[in-house]
Amino acid sequence: MEPNGILPVVLTIAGSDSGGGAGIQADLKTFQAFRCFGTSVITAITAQNTKGVTAVQGIDADVVAAQLEAVLDDFPVKAAKTGMLFSAPIIKAIKRVWQKHTERIPLVVDPVMVASTGARLLEPEAETALTDFLKLARLITPNLPETECLLGHTISGESGMKEAALELYDRFGSSVLVKGGHRLGLDGRVLDVLYDGTKFLTFTSERLPEKNTHGTGCTLSAAIAANLALGLGLQEAVAGARDYLVGAIKNAPGLGEGYGPLNHLWRDL
């Protein structure tokens, strides 16, 4: 909370998850957990639960732009994040509005392309628009499959993650957090690599059961944005967000038959 008692405002631009575990719903829960006021721009509606995505419908690009204009015209947004952007027209509409605000609002871009279940969350023709949009970000947070998709080659080991982060920075000019998830680890621990344009920082955490991991990418990027809104530097924002994510996984409520959601309010237990 700011000195005047006003909650820092954070914005999420993402899709809706009817199961409540990812997307807009996860982001708003995360903002609340960090004592920030969440605002939102919905890009698409999904029919999904812990078992998968069964339907997706994009919102009209003009309506997406109108949502974004409405929020930015009235709220003192301190930081923002994007998740599922879905289509090229939507990405281009967001970019047109956002370019008027890039200097004053740090933007975290989670380049959501494919759900963990394999469902496509970004239209193939939108990939070019997405790569162009990444240049507006303060930080991009791709997982390994997304990193490989962006770069067009496979990645293995810590050295490969560092090389990939450097390559993404050179290409887009944004700080990069390459997320190892459950695929890469050191001595049974999960590894993430941050490159801020001058140095590499590695983060490790214990490997947790993979059952309740729905919405982890959304939650991490939302937590980083919330920390930036609270005035933390990038390294501290990432470190704090990772710690929060570990707690949210450990305290997952065990809902659903598939990959269950996290407990975003675990700190209040």
Residues with catalytic roles: 179, 213, 215-218
Taking the CB of residue 147, how many other CB atoms lie within 10 A of it?
A: 25
Token pair recorded at residue 255: 């809902």
- C-alpha to C-alpha distance for 225 and 212, rounded to whole angstroms: 23
**DSSP letters spanning 48-84:** EETTEEEEEEEPPHHHHHHHHHHHHHHS-EEEEEE--
CA 28, chain centre distance (Å): 12
Query: Kind of pairing, strands 9-17 and 37-49?
Result: parallel
- C-alpha to C-alpha distance for 101 and 118, rounded to whole angstroms: 34
State the amino acid at position 154 in one-letter form. T
For residues 26 and 212, the answer to whether their CB atoms sit within 8 Å is: no
CA 158, chain centre distance (Å): 22
Nearest CA to 95 out of 64, 120, 117, 123 is that of: 64
